[in-house]
Amino acid sequence: MATEDRRKKDRQTPSQARAARRARRQRRKRFTRLAALSAVASIALLFIFSLFAGSLPITLGSKDAPDGPGERIASQGKTHINRTESHPPYSTVPATSGWHFDDYSAPARWDIYSEALPDEVLVHNLEHGGVGIHYDCPDGCDDLVAKLEEIASQATKVIMSPYPNLGSKIALTAWTFIDKFDEFDEERIKAFVNAHVSSPNAPEYLLR
């Protein structure tokens, strides 16, 4: 008898059954709406990421450390120094590794400069996976500078500047890599930039 009474108590009335069905439908609708919104949001985020990925300070994926182009130079370390400290000479001109400033000026902003920058600044940019494009034209070379600027302006993590007493007209630098030549070669420059920007060869290549 007690069992029969309990069954009667647990049995839903028609109105209760309808209310339960409505509640289940509403829960399903809410779940479907949330799933759709999440999918749309994910697609939107991926789209936004694709637009700005080129300018992000971090390189995603498994980019291999290149062994060129350019000549590989033995690392001279990555010691931070202040402006009052001296250090041994660099092994290349321009420098491709070694002692560098770690202050308000270094690393320098990725840009095109009309004045020379110290190696101690430039090396910090290379440490962050950047590429240096440098030129030396004592008698002027406006046409060459314009061509180099066009390449530099289209790339990320590139710093361009004149470099007195370079020993050649053009020099490209990356962390422990250098390429020097006298005649403008667009393909050669772009190949160096594409290979070495954010290269894992650089100690802090994930940084901007």
Ranges of each domain in the chain:
2-55, 71-196
Provide the pLDDT for residue 174: 98
b/e sequence 30-60, b meaning 16+ C-beta within 10 Å: eeeeeeeeeeeeeeeeeeeeeeeeeeeeebe
Looking at the chain, the whole-number percentage of residues with pLDDT higher than 90 is: 62
Q: Give the residue carrying structure tokens 């390429």.
A: 179
Name residues whose C-beta falls within 8 Å of residue 66's C-beta, 6 or more positions apart in sequence.
Answer: 195, 196, 199, 201
Read off the pLDDT of residues 150-204 as tens digits, 9 standing for 90 and up: 999 999 999 999 999 999 999 999 999 999 999 999 999 999 999 999 999 999 9
Average pLDDT over residues 93-103: 95
* Position with higher pLDDT, 140 vs 132: 132
| DSSP assignment of 78-95 | --EE-TT---PPPSSSS-
Looking at the chain, the whole-number percentage of residues with pLDDT higher than 70 is: 77
| CATH fold for the domain made of 71-196 | Glutaredoxin (3.40.30)
